[in-house]
């Protein structure tokens, strides 16, 4: 199985989209998306300098547009898993069939504008904490009155919050850890972004999301989300919630992904995957590919042809399936028999993991037609657990 991943802020480089404009229709596509975003994506991706594309109001739609522009050159129907880091989640949602490209670009632009506005309300920032004992790092971040905004695995945690708190953390770093200030506008993925989350939620309320046509992983907990409205809600809430890229990578390993392709501007996520999954790479030969220019598309297409497999959450039009959100062992509710009438949101069981039980719910009302997984069955994220029919 192959996963495609889309990067987030900090991965952009001046001029990184210039080679893509040579592709037929690419510039027209960017011009159309620029109208939706309210920023000139062609300018930003070709001639804008580093300072200009560091502006989060411009960076966010630029990154989503870059990922989707490249994805349109690939056989996405054969891709089984998609994921994105921070704003890259919007690109992943579009690749997974939950959002249209136009909706993803519009949301990215609104997200960027509203987060920029939230940053202006109070001086805040972010610092990377590299190395150290993971528990000690989190304790130090909390002691400084900060939040762990990004947990990227491989000894990388990003702390965010007040400038005083960041200064305190830098002065008293965790043992064997380095603290590096990041050049960002504010404390992303923390409660400081609450006004942005509220504004984005209002806009997202006008979108009708689709049903995922592949496994879509969530930054909240690395879970596979098989319900469009639930994923859209997660995308909105992620503005104030920490990015758990470490858990997304753990899910990639649990699923048994054999290849990962990172879309432009590529390199950051590929590096994290290489470091975090080095044991799996050595044992199973997981291959990592980066797509930065059209010259990289041939290798990506070949990887998809060799590792890809279409994944659908709907085996037949008249049925829906409930899938496992995480890896573990499944425990169905013992009071539910096949033929039972289910209501939307009703719990049908749990997936038990080392970190506790994760509830599994029916996202739609209907009849429990069939248990696909049974008590104590090991399950992977995205694996079908039960089939629901009727009232869909």
- Confidence band, pLDDT 50/70/90 cuts, at residue 201: very high
Strand order in the sheet with 377-379: 356-361, 347-353, 328-332, 377-379
* Contacts with 269 (C-beta within 8 Å, 6 or more apart), sequence order: 5, 7, 11, 85, 245, 262
47-56 pLDDT, tens per residue? 999 999 999 9
Phi-psi region of 77 (alpha: psi -120 to 50; beta: other; left: phi over 0): alpha
107-127 pLDDT, tens per residue? 999 999 999 999 999 999 999
- Tell me yes or no: is domain 2-118+191-307 CATH 3.40.366.10: yes
In the chain, pLDDT over 70 holds for what percent of residues? 96
- Confidence band, pLDDT 50/70/90 cuts, at residue 312: very low
Give mean pLDDT, residues 312-324.
57
Q: Using an 8 Å Cβ cutoff, are 324 and 330 in contact?
A: yes
| Position 316 pLDDT exceeds 70 | no
Given this chain, do its domains 121-181 and 319-389 carry the same CATH topology?
A: no
| Position 152 pLDDT exceeds 80 | yes
Closest CA relative to residue 308, chosen from 266, 273, 258:
258
pLDDT of residue 319: 55
Closest CA relative to residue 21, chosen from 38, 34, 37, 36:
34
- Per-residue DSSP letters for 152-169? EETTEEEEEEEHHHHHHH
When the pLDDT of each residue in the chain is averaged and rounded to a whole number, the result is 93
- Domain extent listing, the chain: 2-118+191-307, 121-181, 319-389
Tell me which of 11, 85, 127, 189 is the catalytic residue: 189
Give mean pLDDT, residues 34-51.
97
Question: Over 218-258, what HEC string results?
Answer: CCCCCCECCCHHHHHHHHHHCCCCCECHHHHHHHHHHHCCC
Q: Using an 8 Å Cβ cutoff, are 86 and 189 in contact?
A: yes
| Position 128 pLDDT exceeds 50 | yes
- Confidence band, pLDDT 50/70/90 cuts, at residue 4: very high
340-377 pLDDT, tens per residue? 999 988 999 999 998 889 999 988 788 998 899 999 99
Q: Report the sign of the C-alpha dihedral through residues 7, 11, 12, 16, in that order.
A: negative
58-105 pLDDT, tens per residue? 999 999 999 999 999 999 999 999 999 999 999 999 999 999 999 999
Closest CA relative to residue 17, chosen from 294, 246, 267, 286:
294
245-280 pLDDT, tens per residue? 999 999 999 888 999 999 999 999 999 999 999 999
Q: What token pair was written down for 233?
A: 């809600």
Strands (E), 68-214: 81-84, 124-131, 147-153, 156-162, 177-181
d(CA 64, CA 75): 18
- Tell me yes or no: is domain 319-389 CATH 2.40.50.100: yes
- The CATH number of the structural domain formed by 121-181 is 3.30.70.250
Among 67-81, 140-154, 331-345, the range scoring the smallest mean pLDDT is: 331-345
pLDDT of residue 326: 85
The residues pairing with 158 across neighbouring beta strands, listed in sequence order, are 128, 150
Tell me which of 86, 127, 218, 258 is the catalytic residue: 86
pLDDT of residue 311: 44
| Position 11 pLDDT exceeds 60 | yes
86 is catalytic: yes
The residues pairing with 153 across neighbouring beta strands, listed in sequence order, are 156
Say what the pTM is: 0.85
| Position 7 pLDDT exceeds 90 | yes
pLDDT of residue 313: 43
d(CA 307, CA 313): 19
- Confidence band, pLDDT 50/70/90 cuts, at residue 314: very low
204-254 pLDDT, tens per residue? 999 999 999 999 999 999 989 988 999 999 999 999 999 999 999 999 998
């Amino acid at each position: 199985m192959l996963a495609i991943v889309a990067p987030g802020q900090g991965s952009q480089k001046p001029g990184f989209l210039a080679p893509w404009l040579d592709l037929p229709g690419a510039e027209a596509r960017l011009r159309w998306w620029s109208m939706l975003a309210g920023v000139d994506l062609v300018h930003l991706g070709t001639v804008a300098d580093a300072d200009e594309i560091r502006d989060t109001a411009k960076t966010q739609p630029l990154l989503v547009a870059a990922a989707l522009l490249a994805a349109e050159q690939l056989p996405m129907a054969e891709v089984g898993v998609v994921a994105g880091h921070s704003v890259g989640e919007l690109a992943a949602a579009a690749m997974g069939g939950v959002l249209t490209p136009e909706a993803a670009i519009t949301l990215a632009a609104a997200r960027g504008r509203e987060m920029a506005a939230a940053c202006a309300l109070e001086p805040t920032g972010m610092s990377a904490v590299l190395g150290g004992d993971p528990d000690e790092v989190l304790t130090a971040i909390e002691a400084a009155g900060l939040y762990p905004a990004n947990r990227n695995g491989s000894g990388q945690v990003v702390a965010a919050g007040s400038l005083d708190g960041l200064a305190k953390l830098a002065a008293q770093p965790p043992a064997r850890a380095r603290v590096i200030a990041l050049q960002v506008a504010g404390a992303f993925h923390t409660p400081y972004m609450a006004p942005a989350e509220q504004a984005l939620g209002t806009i997202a309320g006008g979108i009708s999301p689709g049903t995922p046509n592949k496994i879509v992983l969530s930054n909240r907990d690395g879970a596979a989300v098989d319900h469009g409205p639930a994923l859209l809600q997660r995308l909105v809430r992620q503005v104030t919630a920490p990015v758990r890229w470490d858990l997304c990578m753990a899910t990639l390993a649990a699923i048994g992904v054999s290849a990962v392709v990172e879309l432009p501007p590529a390199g950051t996520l590929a590096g994290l995957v290489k470091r975090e999954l080095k044991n799996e790479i050595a044992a199973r030969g997981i291959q990592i590919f980066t797509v930065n220019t059209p010259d990289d598309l041939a290798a990506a297409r070949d990887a998809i042809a060799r590792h890809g497999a279409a994944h659908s959450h709907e085996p037949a039009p008249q049925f829906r399936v409930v899938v496992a959100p995480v890896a573990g062992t499944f425990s169905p509710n013992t009071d539910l028999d096949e033929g039972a009438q289910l209501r939307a949101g009703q719990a049908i069981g749990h997936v038990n993991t080392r970190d506790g039980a994760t509830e599994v719910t029916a996202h739609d009302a209907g009849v429990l037609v069939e248990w696909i997984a049974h008590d104590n069955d090991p399950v992977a994220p995205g694996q079908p657990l039960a089939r629901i029919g009727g009232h869909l």
